Amino acid sequence: MSSHSIAFIGTGVMGRSMAGHLLKAGHPLHVFNRTKAKAQPLLDAGAHWHDTAGAAAAQADFVFTIVGFPADVEATYFGPGGVLASARPGAVLVDMTTSSPLLARRIAEAAAAKGLSALDAPVSGGDVGAREARLVIMVGGDAAAFARAKPLFEIMGKNIILQGGPGAGQHCKMANQISIASIMMSWCEALTYAQRAGLDPARVIESIGGGAAASWSLNNLAPRALKGDFAPGFYVKHFLKDMRIALESAEAMQLDLPGLKQAKKLYDEVASRGWEESGTQALLKLYQAQA
């Protein structure tokens, strides 16, 4: 694959590993992050620092963004001197933040008006998937732009599917988060029950983690939680953001999703106890506190 100049905006828990894979594959990398220290490992490996998202975008054939909230996406793309105002003609813009499907469509329309292509490509797999380049990448947008970006996606992930037009990647990610919301409750309840019954929850996972009750969350996040490791592979505050977007999207489609509503209620309680900067496995603490 030929080398492409790449801008990567957002070098947090996920973005730092993702950008690192692109750099290691031989692509010149231009980075911006609100906190420069979080980009330092990439700079030490040869990436170029820029003081704004727009300045990084101006150097690149492909612009990847993975920031926190829809408001951050909006500012990054539409703000003064932002990505849309600064990107090279013909560049492909790829937002990998989990964000609003409506905002993804707005970005795609604005990009097309400027001779740019835009894809929404949220990911699943958490910090481990990012480090191991095994992310699931759900993509919405133009098929030709997807074909151009796919070799770069393949450096960061293993399961890469174009779901449809602009916004389709975000809708797929909402389906992912809706499923995870109930799965997180399920293993927390199962292990809380097991503990109350006098069982060793770690041994319970050994039994049920390979059968019909198995899930990635049970086998990866539950053991962390049992060891008291609540470091964020994925922040509670970001999961709450995702659930808000999913509920808003469901309401717009006149869907009632009771499992999602209950998970949101529980995670609101997790956040109210001061754990919003923890990983999503902190939900177990809430169950243990109630038990």
Q: What is the CATH number of the domain that holds 99?
A: 3.40.50.720
Select the more confidently predicted residue: 1 or 249: 249
Clarify whether residues 198 and 160 are in a common domain.
no
The residue among 130, 165, 200 that closes a domain is 165
For residues 138 and 183, membership in a common domain is answered with no
Q: What pTM did the predictor assign?
A: 0.93
- CA-only gyration radius of the chain, Å: 20
Please determine, for residue 119, whether its predicted confidence score (pLDDT) is greater than 80. yes
Q: Does residue 146 lie within any of the structural domains?
A: yes
Q: Are residues 79 and 188 part of one domain?
A: no
Give the integer Cα–Cα distance in Å for 142 and 20. 26
Per the model's pLDDT, the better-predicted residue between 2 and 130 turns out to be 130
Region 196-216: mean pLDDT is 97
CATH number, domain containing residue 276: 1.10.1040.10
Distance CA 69, CA 100 (A): 9
Q: Which of 38, 173, 261, 265 is catalytic?
A: 173
Residue 180: inside a domain, yes or no?
Answer: yes
The pLDDT value given to residue 175: 98
CA distance 87 to 33: 17
Query: Are 113 and 243 contained in the same domain?
Result: no
Q: Assess whether 137 and 192 both reside in one domain.
A: no
Q: Is 80 exceeded by the pLDDT of residue 280?
A: yes
DSSP structural state of residue 235: B
Task: Please write the tens of the pLDDT for every residue from 225-278.
Answer: 999 999 998 899 999 999 999 999 999 999 999 999 999 999 999 999 999 999
Instruction: Indicate whether 159 pLDDT > 90.
Output: yes
Structural domain includes residue 217: yes
Average pLDDT over residues 167-189: 98
Which residues have CB under 8 Å from 15's CB, separation 6+? 8, 9, 33, 64, 66, 96, 130
173 is catalytic: yes
Q: Are residues 91 and 184 in the same domain?
A: no
Residue 24 and residue 160 share a domain: yes
Q: Single out the residue in 143, 165, 187 at which a domain terminates.
A: 165
The answer to the question of residue 280 being in a domain is yes
Can you give the residue range of the structural domain that contains 105?
Answer: 6-165
- pLDDT, residue 126, reads 83
Residue 179 lies in a domain: yes
Using a pLDDT cut of 90, give the percent of the chain over it: 96
Q: What is the mean pLDDT of the chain?
A: 96
Residue 1 is assigned to a structural domain of this protein: no
Residue range 44-70: average pLDDT? 97
Asked, for residue 46, whether it belongs to a domain, the answer is yes
Mean pLDDT, to the nearest integer, of 189-209?
98
Q: Are residue 197 and residue 130 in the same domain, yes or no?
A: no
Q: Is the pLDDT of residue 1 over 70?
A: no
pLDDT at 205 over 90: yes
The one-character DSSP state at 88 is: P
* pLDDT for the residue 291: 64
| Rounded average pLDDT over 35-55 | 97
Number of folded domains that form the chain: 2
Query: Domain boundary residue among 165, 196, 220?
Result: 165
Is there a domain that residue 138 lies in?
A: yes
285 and 199 in a single domain? The answer is yes
Q: Could you tell me if 123 and 16 lie in one domain? A: yes
Residues 178 and 158 both lie in one domain: no
pLDDT value, residue 52: 97
pLDDT at 142: 96
